[in-house]
């Protein structure tokens, strides 16, 4: 909180106390009635989740004499100062802040936002209340994010030591650079850095001419932190360290050690920590969310017939069958459809292979064909450049998982996996759990290089099966199919009219 930087990013391992530090920063000028701060999270659920940002604010702001307004999601201080909590889920949402004047902008989990969101909001960082406008942000390490490039000067980039041996600090923050200010300007999205304002002007003289000659370049700093510095958390919850140590190698390096370089292959669609969150996310849904069923029918061998029942964006039932007979699969679907009162038109079955024969019985069902052409974006009406519908659904569902706007809340029961050799997450040689299988399936789906038409691709089904020990990603495919119900919605006429 003592940094003078125009932009300060605090990050490192999980549990360092980042959110509480930002809440304290938001109340710094509580006696200045003209001051205001806005906290941004990517989604509304990120703000309102149990123990999240809004809950945390109630532990601090009432002690400072502030009163909350639940509907508006803000705090009013006696002086008139206000702290707001807002989400920015879609990139176009940033335009809703056009004309705004916000002295303090705070991004909680900056890596969840796009660079366009961040830099546009910088233009709204203005002040007439006597406080120099500034920005604060928190994040956990994400080597694939745009933020990683923004803070790379503060991170050790050397893979080896001078003697050629591996550098044990590769990807970790450089201690002596913590909190050091650097200055920058941007030229056509290109960052120009300097150790002083004068150096930036010298490196980009064409930008500082005429009326802009004396403009002060912005300053930025990165301040790492670790869970070991959060003595209060470790006193109250000493098991938290064990939770971090139990993560897989990549997540442990990022969340416990604060490493910005560790990643398996950089091609994962789903962020590892978000895959874990998938089973604990608390969603803000309408009172009576619409129900859907998705089903990937088994063909033969190691494949499962998997049925998901959805309430909105939450999986509330998973049924696993070893059935390959179309009628038996239909009866299994019907049992769940009647139990959960799901309309036939909201029941989707993979029609490739044996699933296509299910329609002889479920004539009102909808069919999913992964090789079909991708659909238009349901909001913009624009064609999306994916190789096929299956790829489109996997990418879009990955965005939802990474934004914590989808959840799976079912009993984690075991299933038989006879002959499923090579699956590394088995609880025993013949059994594993449904949630372990779903997580493994989603991990097996990777980005693939774009084709000649620059269409987005995922890795082949055979590559996925190799990673899964010969098993098809039945759980991942059933999960991905939920996106079809969003894509099928027609573009609203008012949007088409305005676009024309």
Query: How high is the pLDDT of residue 416?
Result: 59
Kindly state the average pLDDT of the residues 152-180.
88
The answer to whether 419 and 413 have CB atoms below 8 angstroms apart is no
Task: Compute the distance between CA of residue 437 and CA of residue 113 in angstroms, rounded to an integer.
Answer: 29
- Would the pLDDT of 131 be above 90? yes
- DSSP-derived secondary structure for 298-352: --STT--EEEEEEETTEEEEEEEE----HHHHHHHHHHHHHHHT--GGGEEEE-S
Strand partners of residue 191? 186
Query: How high is the pLDDT of residue 44?
Result: 86
Task: Compute the distance between CA of residue 62 and CA of residue 30 in angstroms, rounded to an integer.
Answer: 12
Query: How high is the pLDDT of residue 451?
Result: 86
- Would the pLDDT of 109 be above 70? yes
Q: Which residue shows structure tokens 């974006």? A: 377
Residue 59, burial from CB neighbour count under 10 angstroms (0-12, 13-18, 19+): exposed
Beta strand ranges found along 342-413 (DSSP E): 347-350, 366-368, 407-408
Give the highest mean pLDDT range of 198-207, 227-236, 242-251, 263-272: 198-207
Domain boundaries, the chain: 7-229, 291-487
Kindly state the average pLDDT of the residues 87-114.
91
- Would the pLDDT of 300 be above 70? no
Q: Does domain 291-487 have CATH number 2.30.40.10?
A: no
Task: Compute the distance between CA of residue 166 and CA of residue 159 in angstroms, rounded to an integer.
Answer: 6
Tell me: the pLDDT tens digits for 321-380?
Answer: 877 788 999 999 999 999 999 999 999 999 887 778 898 898 899 999 999 999 998 888
Q: pTM of the prediction?
A: 0.57
Top-tier CATH class for 7-229: alpha beta
Tell me: the pLDDT tens digits for 24-38?
Answer: 999 999 999 999 999
The answer to whether 467 and 444 have CB atoms below 8 angstroms apart is yes
Per-residue pLDDT band for 50 (boundaries 50, 70, 90) equals confident
Query: How high is the pLDDT of residue 417?
Result: 54
Query: How high is the pLDDT of residue 426?
Result: 33
Task: Compute the distance between CA of residue 296 and CA of residue 358 in angstroms, rounded to an integer.
Answer: 11
Task: Compute the distance between CA of residue 407 and CA of residue 277 in angstroms, rounded to an integer.
Answer: 8
On average, the pLDDT of the chain sits at 86
Residue 369, burial from CB neighbour count under 10 angstroms (0-12, 13-18, 19+): middle
Phi, psi (5° rounding) for residue 181?
Answer: -85, 135
Per-residue pLDDT band for 424 (boundaries 50, 70, 90) equals very low
CA distances to 125, 161, 173, 194, 221 from 158, rounded to whole Å, are 35, 7, 12, 21, 20
């Amino acid at each position: 909180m003592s940094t003078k930087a125009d932009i300060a990013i605090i990050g490192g391992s999980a549990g360092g106390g980042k959110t509480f530090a930002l809440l304290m920063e938001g109340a710094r000028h509580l006696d200045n009635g003209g001051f205001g701060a806005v906290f941004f999270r990517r989604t509304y659920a990120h703000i309102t989740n149990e123990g999240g940002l809004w809950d945390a604010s109630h532990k601090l702001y009432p002690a400072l004499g502030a009163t909350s307004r639940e509907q508006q999601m803000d705090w009013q201080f006696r002086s008139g100062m206000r702290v707001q909590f807002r989400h920015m889920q879609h990139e176009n949402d940033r335009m809703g802040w056009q004309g705004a004047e916000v002295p303090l902008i705070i991004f909680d989990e900056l890596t969840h936002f796009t660079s366009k969101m961040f830099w546009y909001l910088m233009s709204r960082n203005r002040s007439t209340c006597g406080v120099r406008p500034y920005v604060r942000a928190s994040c956990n390490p994400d080597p694939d994010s745009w933020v990683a490039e923004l803070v790379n000067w503060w991170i050790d980039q050397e893979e080896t030591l001078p003697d050629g041996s591996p550098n044990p600090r590769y990807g970790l923050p450089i201690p002596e650079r913590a909190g050091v200010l650097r200055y920058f300007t941007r030229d056509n999205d290109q960052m120009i850095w300097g150790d002083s304002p004068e150096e930036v002007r010298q490196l980009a003289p064409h930008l500082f001419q005429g009326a802009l000659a004396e403009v002060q370049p912005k300053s930025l700093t990165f301040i790492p932190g670790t869970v070991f510095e959060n003595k209060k958390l470790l006193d109250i919850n000493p098991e938290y360290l064990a939770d971090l140590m139990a993560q897989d190698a990549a997540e442990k390096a990022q969340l416990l050690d604060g490493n910005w370089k560790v990643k398996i292959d950089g091609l994962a669609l789903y962020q590892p920590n978000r895959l874990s969150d998938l089973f604990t996310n608390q969603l803000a849904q309408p009172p009576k969310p619409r129900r859907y069923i998705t089903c990937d029918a088994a063909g033969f061998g190691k494949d499962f017939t998997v049925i998901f029942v959805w309430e909105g964006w939450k999986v509330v039932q998973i049924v696993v069958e070893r059935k390959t007979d179309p009628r038996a699969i239909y009866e299994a679907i019907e049992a769940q459809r009647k139990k959960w009162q799901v309309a036939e038109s909201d029941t989707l079955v993979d029609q490739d292979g044996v699933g296509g024969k299910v329609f002889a019985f479920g004539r009102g069902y909808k069919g999913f064909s992964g090789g079909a052409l991708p659909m238009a974006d349901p909001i913009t009406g624009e064609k999306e450049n994916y190789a096929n519908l299956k790829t489109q659904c996997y990418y879009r569902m990955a965005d939802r998982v990474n934004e914590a706007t989808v959840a799976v809340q079912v009993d984690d029961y075991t299933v038989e996996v006879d002959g499923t050799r090579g699956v590394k997450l088995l609880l025993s040689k013949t059994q594993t759990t449904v949630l372990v299988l779903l997580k493994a399936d989603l991990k097996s789906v990777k980005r693939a290089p774009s084709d000649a038409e620059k269409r987005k691709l995922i890795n082949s089904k055979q590559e996925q099966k190799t990673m899964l020990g010969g098993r098809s990603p039945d759980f991942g495919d059933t999960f991905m199919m939920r996106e079809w119900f969003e894509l099928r919605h027609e573009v609203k006429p008012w949007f088409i009219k305005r676009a024309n």
